[in-house]
Amino acid sequence: MPGLKPVQIKPTDTFFFRGHRDFTAGETSAAVSFFPPRPGTIYGTLRSAYIHRHSDFASFGSGSEPEVRKWMGTTTAPGELAVKGTVVKVDGTEYVPVPYDCLIAEGKAALLKLRSDVPELAWDRRKYRLFSDDITKAESPEGYFVPLFQWKRQMMDGKYECQAVHAGEWLAAEMKTGIALDPSSRATRENMLYRADMKRFNSKNYADEDTGFLVLVQNGPDFSDVRFARLGGENRPAQVRQLDQGFSLFAGEETMALADAIRKTETARLVFITPTIIRQNSCIYNREAGRMILKPGLELEVMAVANGRPYLVGGWDIAANRPKPRYSAYPAGSVFNLRVPESQADDVIKTVLERNITDELAYEGYGWAAVGVANV
């Protein structure tokens, strides 16, 4: 995956990330924050920070700055800026979500086993299912993260167990209470009290510059002179720093070892590191036929799926003053177990590393995925 340019966004205060749900003063009194931010939030943060540094929004709206228009587009169309994906960075260690085909037990994330020797059920006639032989009390992987280097090892060795950390161990909650003001008199308005669930990193080394969000820019301008950004709800302050070193998810020797392991079992895991948008009439996933289409001519059998509850991706179009189109997204950590013919192993790995697997908004960082070995 050549050419990825890491840009770190470090919140300097509390932050707040909200989904597509309405939050109207006088109607809903509480706004709940989630973590990590959606890819569109990070993409919009970088985009607006660059515009603020090199132009202004009036010029951006008119398209009078050629360089800004090239990279950041216009109010109606995106530019050439493309984000591969984002990982969480805490005290210098990069973290990714625990895949949904794992179980969390005693602080470790272990892969479920893909089995075909299972009894057929009246309500479930799938040939393959994911099972665990461990009877220890376990938790869902939702909200848990693993160090990237351990995640990579598990992708290459399905028996390896990762050390899992819940996001709650990094974050401190700061509940904000406010009340809406009358825009003309600036006096408070009745029945307009609200609460917002603000968060902040509570890392012990947070004074260092090693905690925040590591954004992997696939195609973009030089961000070295962009120092500050507005992040998430209420435009909270954040520092921006372009890192000198490059980023590669898997090196050449690692991809060769992955391909050899996949050829032995002819099965693989397609693991999404960021959420992926899958439409009802999807171009990448045919639910009825049970087929995953990675690109034209590369279509694979889906043996089993492990995912969290899909959610809606939306937002507000400021220029058009209307809601953006809404899409259904599978959460980060979703996994598709695929049947991979021996002759296609190299092509599958190469295709997934080079492109984002999503129906929409690939340039924002949706659909960043990788291929790993299955636990069979």
Q: Domain coordinates of the chain in residue numbers? A: 252-372
Alpha-carbon distances of 365 from 85, 183, 215, 296, rounded to whole Å: 4, 37, 9, 21
Q: What is the pTM of this model?
A: 0.92
Edge-to-edge strand list for the sheet holding 276-277: 276-277, 327-330, 311-313
How remote is the C-alpha of 219 from its chain's centroid?
18
Q: Which residues are CB-neighbours of 58 under 8 A, at least 6 positions away?
A: none
Say how far apart CA 198 and CA 193 lie, in whole Å: 16
Q: Where does 252-372 sit in CATH, by number?
A: 2.60.40.4350
Instruction: Tell which residue, 110, 111, 113, has the closest CA to residue 128.
Output: 113
Instruction: Tell which residue, 140, 134, 116, 139, has the closest CA to residue 126.
Output: 116
How remote is the C-alpha of 304 from its chain's centroid?
21
Residue 281: exposure state from Cβ atoms within 10 A (0-12, 13-18, ≥19):
exposed
Tokens of 362: 């690939």
Edge-to-edge strand list for the sheet holding 298-306: 285-286, 291-295, 298-306, 335-339, 267-272, 369-372
Dihedral pair phi/psi, residue 358, rounded to 5°: -160, 155
Say how far apart CA 165 and CA 95 lie, in whole Å: 9
Residues 285, 278: contact at Cβ < 8 Å? Answer: yes
Residues 329, 271: contact at Cβ < 8 Å? Answer: no
Residues in the chain: 376
Cis peptide before 325 (omega within 30 of 0): no
Say how far apart CA 40 and CA 358 lie, in whole Å: 14
Say how far apart CA 232 and CA 161 lie, in whole Å: 34
Q: Which residues are CB-neighbours of 187 under 8 A, at least 6 positions away?
A: 181
Tokens of 271: 């693991």
Say how far apart CA 301 and CA 275 lie, in whole Å: 21
Alpha-carbon distances of 183 from 27, 186, 191, 192, 196, rounded to whole Å: 18, 5, 15, 13, 21
**What angle do the packed helices 252-265 and 148-156 form, to 10 degrees?**
40
Query: Would you state the pLDDT for residue 1?
Result: 46
Residue 186 falls in which region: left (phi positive, over 0), alpha (psi -120 to 50) or beta: left
**Cβ-defined contacts of 233-236 (< 8 Å, 24+):** 233/15, 233/16, 233/17, 233/18, 233/31, 233/33, 233/196, 234/16, 234/196, 236/11, 236/13, 236/14, 236/15, 236/16
Residue 212 falls in which region: left (phi positive, over 0), alpha (psi -120 to 50) or beta: left
Say how far apart CA 60 and CA 362 lie, in whole Å: 23
Edge-to-edge strand list for the sheet holding 144-147: 165-166, 144-147, 93-97, 82-90, 212-219, 5-11, 236-242, 228-231
Each of the 376 residues of the chain gets a pLDDT tens digit; together they read: 457 999 999 999 999 897 656 666 555 667 777 899 999 999 999 999 999 999 888 888 888 889 999 999 998 899 999 999 999 999 999 999 999 999 999 899 999 999 887 777 666 667 888 888 776 788 889 999 999 999 999 999 999 999 999 999 999 988 888 777 777 888 877 777 777 888 999 866 555 568 999 999 999 999 999 999 999 988 999 999 999 988 999 988 999 999 999 999 999 999 999 999 999 889 999 999 999 999 999 999 999 999 999 999 988 888 888 888 999 999 999 999 999 999 999 999 999 999 999 999 999 999 999 999 999 8
Q: Which residues of 175-204 are buried (b: 16+ CB within 10 A; e: fewer)?
A: eeeeeeeeeeeeeeeeeeebebbbbbbebe
Query: Would you state the pLDDT for residue 207?
Result: 54
